[in-house]
Amino acid sequence: MSRHLWPLLVAAVLAPVPAHAAVTVVDDTGKRVTLARPAQRVISMAPHVTEMLFAAGGGARVVGVMNYSDYPEQARSLPLVGSSSQLDMERVLALKPDLLVVWQGGNTERQLAQLKSLGIPMFFSDPRKMAQIGETVARLGQLMGTERQAQAASAAFRAELAALSARYAKRPPVRMFYQIWDKPLYTLNGTQIVSDAMRLCGGVNVFGHLQVTAPAVSIEAVIEQDPEVIFAGDRGEESDAGLNIWRPYQGMLAVKRQNLFTLKGGLLARAGPRMVQGVAALCEKLELARQRRP
């Protein structure tokens, strides 16, 4: 190479990327999302998405959220654009977003069709594995031009996850039933991210084989499975989270060993960065169940 060309090559390599350079990432559906420049006005279509956007350093860019977006505290004061059952399309348009981050598994087909008709770039979030949460935070940071904070948050999440995996990966398995609701009785199958959290802790979802993501099951079916642990999400003021329905069945292993557990704060209900705290609590409960074995 000519010595006269070498300084030009070095300058080209070291030249800063333009502040308004186009950015492209792949979302959770495998679709490429391209923005002409980093997003400045973002609408979150799910509570877990709101948490991800703030963790990625984009809190100042979030201009609208769906209901139940109550974390972090700053999110509570943001304009609402609707609920899981209805969108306020006029409000969405009035906020002039340049990026919509939607929940593939939570927004209805009708809502998605409405949003697609606006022609605004959409990023689909639907993590099925715990590791995807950290990956998504990093990608959202790319889309908003907040890579540094997003990468730091992603790295911290991955480190916590790795520590839990190292601690519980070789612990004896625990058969468990995860109860979303009791009337009617709902659970989750093996493709849902909570089941991935269970596996990380050594938990075995007794209904993981079912095809429906959130199937309804009968009390008789749970009794037949006879799980060692029954775990239910937070129900606000109801301290038992619907677990009292099992206490009459004294012959069940989970009841006999007093392995009826709840997790406060809904930390397993949202696939955001705080979910790793829920996983840690779940792992501790399963470890307690192991200690109660004869």
Cα radius of gyration rounded to whole Å, the chain: 22
Pairing of strands 203-205, 260-263: unpaired
DSSP E strand boundaries for 27-121: 32-35, 42-44, 62-64, 99-103
Quick one: which of 203, 243, 252, 197 has its CA closest to 224? 252
Alpha helices (H) in the chain, listed in sequence order: 6-14, 47-55, 89-94, 109-116, 130-144, 147-168, 193-201, 219-225, 253-256, 275-291
Tokens of 259: 């392995």
Across 22-26, 48-52, 64-68, 82-86, least confident range: 82-86
Quick one: which of 141, 140, 160 has its CA closest to 149? 141
Where along the chain do the CATH 3.40.50.1980 domains lie? Answer: 14-160, 170-291
Task: Look at residue 15 and tell me whether its pLDDT is greater than 50.
Answer: no
pLDDT at 13: 36
pLDDT at 284: 97
Segment 210-235 mean pLDDT: 93
Across 92-101, 102-111, 152-161, least confident range: 102-111
Pairing of strands 23-26, 32-35: antiparallel
Segment 203-222 mean pLDDT: 96
CATH number for the domain running over 14-160 = 3.40.50.1980
Segment 70-96 mean pLDDT: 93
Name the band, by pLDDT with cuts 50, 70 and 90, for residue 235: low
Instruction: Choose which CATH entry (3.40.50.300, 3.90.1150.10, 2.30.130.10, 3.40.50.1980) describes domain 170-291.
Output: 3.40.50.1980
Q: Phi/psi zone of residue 143: left (φ > 0), alpha (ψ -120 to 50 degrees), beta?
A: alpha
Exposed / middle / buried, residue 144 (Cβ in 10 Å: 0-12, 13-18, 19+): buried
Name the band, by pLDDT with cuts 50, 70 and 90, for residue 17: very low
Q: Report the distance separating Cα 293 and Cα 214, nearest Å.
A: 30
DSSP state of 213: S
Task: Look at residue 24 and tell me whether its pLDDT is greater than 70.
Answer: yes
Mean pLDDT of the chain: 90
pTM, 2 dp = 0.88
pLDDT at 236: 54
246-270: pLDDT as tens digits: 999 999 999 999 999 998 767 898 9
* Percent of residues, the chain, with pLDDT higher than 70: 90
Segment 20-48 mean pLDDT: 94
Q: Report the distance separating Cα 132 and Cα 193, nearest Å.
A: 10
Q: Are 134 and 158 in contact (CB under 8 A)?
A: yes
pLDDT at 229: 98
pLDDT at 21: 79
Q: Report the distance separating Cα 65 and Cα 61, nearest Å.
A: 11
267-280: pLDDT as tens digits: 898 999 999 999 99
Q: Report the distance separating Cα 144 and Cα 53, nearest Å.
A: 9
104-147: pLDDT as tens digits: 777 778 888 888 999 999 999 999 999 999 999 999 999 999 99
